[in-house]
Structure 1
Amino acid sequence: MERNLRRIITGHNEEGKSIVAYDGPPMFGMNWVTNSSPADNKHKNDAAMQKVGLEPPTNGSKFAYFLLNPEDPSKSAEELEKEWTAGFAAIDASHCRPDTSRHPGMHKTKTVDYIILLEGEVTMLLDEDEVELKPFDIVIQRGTNHAWINKGTKPALLATILIDAEPI
């Protein structure tokens, strides 16, 4: 089965706004590398059972799936803002919303993220760009302000790995 794989890497322009730095085919086999992140493999506990908000622990990482429901076009801007505000508060991420002027779901974390769209179609909004994603597209999110929008009719499923990073 032939698939058109795609890799999108975000970055910042000279004004510090989030942009698409690369959009094209991935390198064969390797998509991104970080050079440090000590993990403790000695403990026997299920690490997924600890309470973690949107961002991973300091020097840590977080691997998760998330389901993105279709956006309801009948909701007002005020209703959307209220929902997104409550959603970010519920995952201890109110501080991750520096500029929501483009969309109430815009947020920025102190992480490098690896995201894979598994099912559905999603639009990634950045400060200066907008990218339509299809299944198996990958995004390397480098501490950029962004939002995930589902303009379709079915939920979208994404897998994400967030790794603590130096702040921008």
Structure 2
Amino acid sequence: MLTEYYAAMEANDPERFGSYYADDMTLTFNSDPEIRGRERIMSAFSAMLDRVVSLGHDLVNAWEEDDGVVFFESMGRWTLHNGVILEVKAASRITIVDGRFTDQRIFVDNARVDEALLQELRASRAATLDAGSHRSLRSRLIVTGVDDDGRSVFLSDEPTSDRLVGDGYTRNQLWQGLEVPTPVTAPNGPGDASVIPPPPNGYGYDITAFAPDSEWDYEAGYARLLAQSGVTPEPGDAPGMHTTETIDIVSVISGEVHLLVDEGEKLLQAGDTTVIRGVKHAWSNRSDQPCVISAVHISAVR
């Protein structure tokens, strides 16, 4: 069973290796916070495997104890996109019930592996976005908190699983607050998925990559998106013109994009910031590269 599972991992086949997981499975790396739920674990492993050109695993030692608990040691050989080869020795403990993993704990040299993967991620993210693939944008979210002794700690560090991938853009929803002031210990948003726009009296933060207008049916695509949102454009409106009940603080991280309003337009480039105060506006990427923006959306009144 473990040999077949690792073969599915080596093939980077989420549906196949995910078929071994129970719906409420938990996964823990070293002392990191656990990841709970089949879909979230599949997403976490997929994000990691996307950064690997090839990998192999050899089971060095394995034994089974009572109640379906399996212990094993493995030696992995990972080749990253930047050519770095990692030799990864890991020890794992898996609880198996009715042929499904209900809990997996992995102990590995986390710092060395994470640093190598992070360096590769930075390089590959820049390369893939430069190549025009807005769909490749997946943001890393690191959340802090306090432990039982009141000391500051890292609670989680993983790629966001709350993504909206469209023909013309990819949105990574990172954080939402339900109210202001926000309790510092409040969880992220209303649950597993974000609400767009943010909740009344709340706010949201996301990072979005816009594809070049030339890479998709810009006019028809925005018309379809607005229709799905119940918005009827006015005669003469530019494609994508819309109004939100929010104040949006938007900064360009990379690339460039035109911001359109009723009475003009401005070109925004990396490092530029605009504050959109609930007015009608649209975005247009007239370059040949994706544009990445970050945005805080604050619920507002008129």
Q: Does 1:83 align with 2:221?
A: yes
Query: Displaced runs of 4+ in structure 1, greater than 4 A?
Result: none
**What TM-score do the two structures reach when normalised by structure 1?**
0.63
> Once the two structures are aligned, what percentage of the paired residues are identical?
28
- Partner of residue 32, structure 2: none
- Partner of residue 33, structure 1: none
For 2:205, give the aligned amino acid.
F
Choose which of 41, 64, 69 in structure 1 pairs with 2:211: 69
- Partner of residue 182, structure 2: 39
1:105-146 deviations in Å (ceiling 9; x for gaps): 111101111000010011111100110111110001011111
Flag structure 1 segments of 5+ consecutive residues without an equivalent. Answer: 1-35
For 2:195, give the aligned amino acid.
V
Contact 2:219 2:239 in 1 (8 A): yes
2:241 partner SS: coil
For 2:192, give the aligned amino acid.
M
Structure 1 distance, partners of 2:183, 2:193, is: 15
Structure 2 distance, partners of 1:98, 1:154, is: 27
- Closer/same/farther in 2, CA of residues 126 and 157 from structure 1, 3 Å limit: same
- Partner of residue 247, structure 2: 112
Q: Does 1:51 align with 2:194?
A: yes
- Closer/same/farther in 2, CA of residues 59 and 163 from structure 1, 3 Å limit: same
Structure 2 distance, partners of 1:100, 1:40, is: 44
For 1:149, give the aligned amino acid.
S
Contact 2:214 2:288 in 1 (8 A): no
2:225 partner SS: helix
| Greater relative contact order, per chain length (Cα 8 Å cut-off, separation 6+) | 1
Contact 1:99 1:145 in 2 (8 A): no
1:44-103 deviations in Å (ceiling 9; x for gaps): x333733312x1110010100111110028x7xxx544311333466xx434x6547231
More helix by share: 2
Contact 1:100 1:106 in 2 (8 A): no
Structure 2 distance, partners of 1:98, 1:39, is: 35
Structure 2 distance, partners of 1:106, 1:60, is: 24
Structure 2 distance, partners of 1:37, 1:100, is: 38
**What TM-score do the two structures reach when normalised by structure 2?**
0.37
